[in-house]
Amino acid sequence: MPRTAPPPDQARLQPFRLEALTPLNHEVLRLELSQIDGPPLTYREGQFVTVRLPDGTARSYSPAAACQGDGRLELHIRTLPGGRFSTWLRSDAGRSGALLDIGGPYGDCVWTPPATAGAPLLLLATGTGIAPIRAMLVRHLAGAGRHPVHLYWGGLDQPDLYLSEEFAALAHRHAHFRYTPVLAAATEPWRGRRGYVQAAAADDLPRLDGARVIACGSPAMVDAARTLLVAACGLAPDAFHADAFVAQGAAPMPSGDASLSLEVGLPQAPARRLAAPPGGTVLNTLAAAGLLQGVCGGQAACGTCRIGIAPAWRAALPPPGRKEARLLAALGSGPEQRLACQICLEAPLDGLRIELP
Amino acid sequence: MTTQAISSPDQARLEGVGPAFDPERLLHVRTLTRQAIQRIAAAIQPGMFEEDAVEMARDLLAEAGMLRGWHDVYVRFGSNTTKTFGAPSDPGVVLGEDDLFFIDIGPVLQDWEGDGGDSFVTGRDPDKARCAADARAIFHEVRHKWLSERATGRALYDYAVSCAAARGWVLNMDLSGHRIADFPHAAIHEGPLAGADFPPSRLLWVLEIHIRHPSEAYGAFFEDLLLEDSYF
């Protein structure tokens, strides 16, 4: 979804090429972009990036796909009559092969499960606010089995909900995930919910104490949802997450500063302490320092980034997912070994000590 | 897409191999790779989710001692067959009764890399069957040009584009061949075969053919090593 752009930061801009432009409905376009050079942009699903047009205009959008660390971005852009980006996209310049500068990532509206086991995670979206929600679901839904996850996506009419079939398929596959489309002005026969997403959610989930809510979309929806769900459903005010600037109108402070540290034990050299951007992987940091280079692009496929975890830190790491665990087993790994490409550096891992083989 | 030229003086460097290079081992991994693709394909049925097929493929490869790969395991269903290498699939795609899917694996056995891809259809949709067959046929048309004319990598892909167009498909030039060697070939050269302005040598390059329908959401993929007829 379009946002107020943060101040341009030349140092963070990276050149991307527009690879494909695909209509998703009558007004939303899917942009597929690939990074031309520089270390691949990485982001946490739910964060946003700033796109700078050749004329200097900046617009911000949340990637709609899970971060693969391969320099590819998928953005969903609602075109508006007279909008600068919309006009550019419709011009001869805005075609496949065009170059754009992209900065970021920014923001901290990311997947945050409820602290209470079994409490629901409620996702609310309107329009292209679905993009960061989709990225989060792709990344986290399969591993979120301890919590029921409810998605309410609102639009005026059926064509607005351009990913409905995808979410319905996800709901079919994941018993803990429920998808509810909500239309405010359905013109065709519609047997689904009518009205607004926050009202539909409040009706279905009248008790939200212990729950968390992530809302992405129009400022009106975000404001109304916060007010309603706190007042009527017992939601704790600090359990409501939204892009702060959406509701407050202020540009967010860029995140991604190198505020974490990683201690690296080397086989025949003194240990090194590396600055590590939060949200990136251990492999990102090791590669930036020239200490380790993966081959498969962070897919937990090649095993070249297998590292040791210092004993004191093993319990702090989330257990390996199925893909990582299967490869570690295939490689005959010990319990101290993990794949650097699968360890996301967050604040609790500040100071993590690892050992390179 | 334009591809940066690689001139022939670079050929020796770009066709270099590592200390563990062994043609016989590489051919053996190729055989195991082709067999694994067939086993994976045989286990895929209409009604499966793509994500489940990928997990099943990884399980089969793990059982065969082939899980480690220089790239990830790809099984693409339906509309995801138009996705280029590395692009994440749209989630929740179920294989239909008249559908198309492809498999792309790059296993590493000890020090030797494999890489193979092939496409398969369910049901009787003649257009999708033709798409899968054409990816294979274009691969061999291009390979024959390599054999008969000692064409450069760039000329091979120029030809591949025309072969695809003649059959009514669009060739994805993002998947335009690459080196293969003792693991990892990426340490020698990561560039595309389509950028090579010299005739590629046998057993050192993978020829990739990824075609898609010009307007509909399906495509097909085939890849294998550049080798002589007796290997097919």
**CA-to-CA separations, B55 to A148, A153, A242, A326, B48, in angstroms, rounded:** 24, 30, 34, 10, 11
Q: How many Cα atoms occupy the beta-carbon half-sphere of B189 within 13 Å?
A: 23
- Domain shared by A43 and A23, yes or no: yes
Amino acid A7: pLDDT: 39
**What does the pLDDT look like over A295-309, one tens digit per residue?**
887 889 999 999 999
Q: Do A265 and A235 lie in a common domain?
A: no
Q: Report the CATH number that the domain containing residue A193 is assigned in CATH.
A: 3.40.50.80
The span from the CA of A284 to the CA of A105, in Å, is: 15
Q: Are residues A237 and A292 in the same domain?
A: no
Q: What is the pLDDT of residue B189?
A: 78
User: Is residue B153 a contact partner of residue B178, using CB atoms and an 8 Å limit?
Assistant: no
- Whether residue A138 and residue B88 make contact (CB cut-off 8 A), yes or no, is yes
- List C-alpha distances in Å: A227 to A109, A182, A244, B40: 18, 19, 15, 52
**Is B184–A299 a contact, with Cβ atoms under 8 angstroms apart?**
no
* C-beta atoms of A68 and B90 within 8 A: no
Whether the complex's predicted ipTM is more than 0.90 is answered with no
**Do both A244 and A267 map to the same domain?**
no
8 Å CB contact of A297 and B88: no
Q: Would you say residue A345 lies in a domain?
A: yes
A5 part of a folded domain = no
- Mean model confidence pLDDT for chain B: 91
What does the pLDDT read at residue A250?
29
Secondary structure class of A245 (helix, strand, coil) = helix
Q: Answer yes or no: do A137 and A76 share one domain.
A: no
Nearest neighbour of A70 by CB, restricted to B86, B91, B92: B86
- DSSP 3-state percent helix, strand, coil across chain A (nearest 5): 30, 30, 45
Instruction: Quote the minimal CA–CA distance from A12 to chain B in Å.
Output: 24
DSSP H or E stretch at residue B223: strand B219-225
Please give the biggest Cα pair distance in chain B: 52
Measure CB to CB from residue A295 to each of B70, B90, B92 and give the nearest one: B70
Shared domain check, A244 and A264: no
Q: For position A279, what pLDDT does the model report?
A: 67
pLDDT at position A349, please? Answer: 87
What are the structural domains, with CATH classification, of chain B? 8-231 (3.90.230.10)
A95 part of contact set with chain B, CB < 8 Å: no
- Rounded-to-integer distance, Cα B99 and Cα B46, Å: 8
Q: Looking at the complex, does the CB of residue A310 fall below 8 Å from at least one CB of chain B?
A: no
Query: What is the pLDDT, as a whole number, of residue A256?
Result: 35
pLDDT exceeds cutoff 70 at B129: yes
pLDDT-based confidence at B13, cuts 50/70/90?
confident
- Which chain B residues are within 8 Å of A170, Cβ to Cβ? 91-92
Q: Based on the domain organization, do A169 and A265 belong to the same domain?
A: no
Looking at A227, A248, A269, which one is the last position of a domain? Answer: A248
**Listed residues A219, A248, A277: the one ending a domain:** A248
Same domain, A244 and A129: yes
B90: closest chain A residue by CA: A166
Contact A170 B55 (CB under 8 A): no
∠B88-B132-B147 over CA atoms, to 5°? 105
* Shared-domain flag, residues A91 and A131: no
Given a cut of 90, whether residue B7 has pLDDT beyond it is: no
Same domain, A276 and A306: yes
Smallest Cβ–Cβ distance between A166 and the set B67, B91, B108 belongs to B91
Residue A32 to chain B, least CA–CA distance (Å): 10
**Separation between Cα atoms, residue A219 and residue A240, nearest integer Å:** 14
What mean pLDDT is reported for chain A?
83
Q: pLDDT class for B107, splitting at 50, 70, 90? A: very high
Q: Is A328 within the bounds of a domain?
A: yes
- End residue of a domain, out of A82, A106, A130: A106
Mean pLDDT across B121-133 = 97
Residues of chain A with pLDDT under 50: 1-11, 244-258
> Which position has the higher pLDDT, A2 or B159?
B159
Domain containing A150 equals 121-248
Structurally, chain A folds into a number of domains equal to 3
Tens of pLDDT, residue by residue over B22-58, are: 999 999 999 999 999 999 999 999 999 998 999 999 9
| Apex B51 CA angle, B46 and B56, nearest 5 | 80
Scanning A48-67 for CB atoms below 8 A from B yields: 65-66
In the structure, what pLDDT confidence band is assigned to residue B3 with cuts at 50, 70 and 90? very low
Q: Is residue A143 included in any domain, yes or no?
A: yes
Residue A296, domain CATH = 3.10.20.30
- A186 lies in the same domain as A225: yes
Residue at A2 is within a domain: no
Q: Collect all residues of chain A within an 8 Å Cβ-Cβ radius of residue B113.
A: none
Token pair belonging to A268: 């025949």
Q: Is the CB of A323 inside 8 Å of chain B's CB atoms?
A: yes
Is the Cβ–Cβ distance between A255 and A47 less than 8 Å? yes
* Nearest CB partner across the interface for A66, out of B62, B67, B88: B88
A115 domain residue, yes or no: no
Q: Least CB-CB distance to B108: which of A169, A173, A302?
A: A302
Could A297 and B71 be called an inter-chain contact, meaning their C-beta atoms sit closer than 8 Å? yes
Q: Which residues in chain B have their CB less than 8 angstroms from residue A137's CB? A: 91
Task: Lay out the sheet containing A269-276: strands in order across.
Answer: A269-276, A260-266, A352-355, A306-309, A337-339
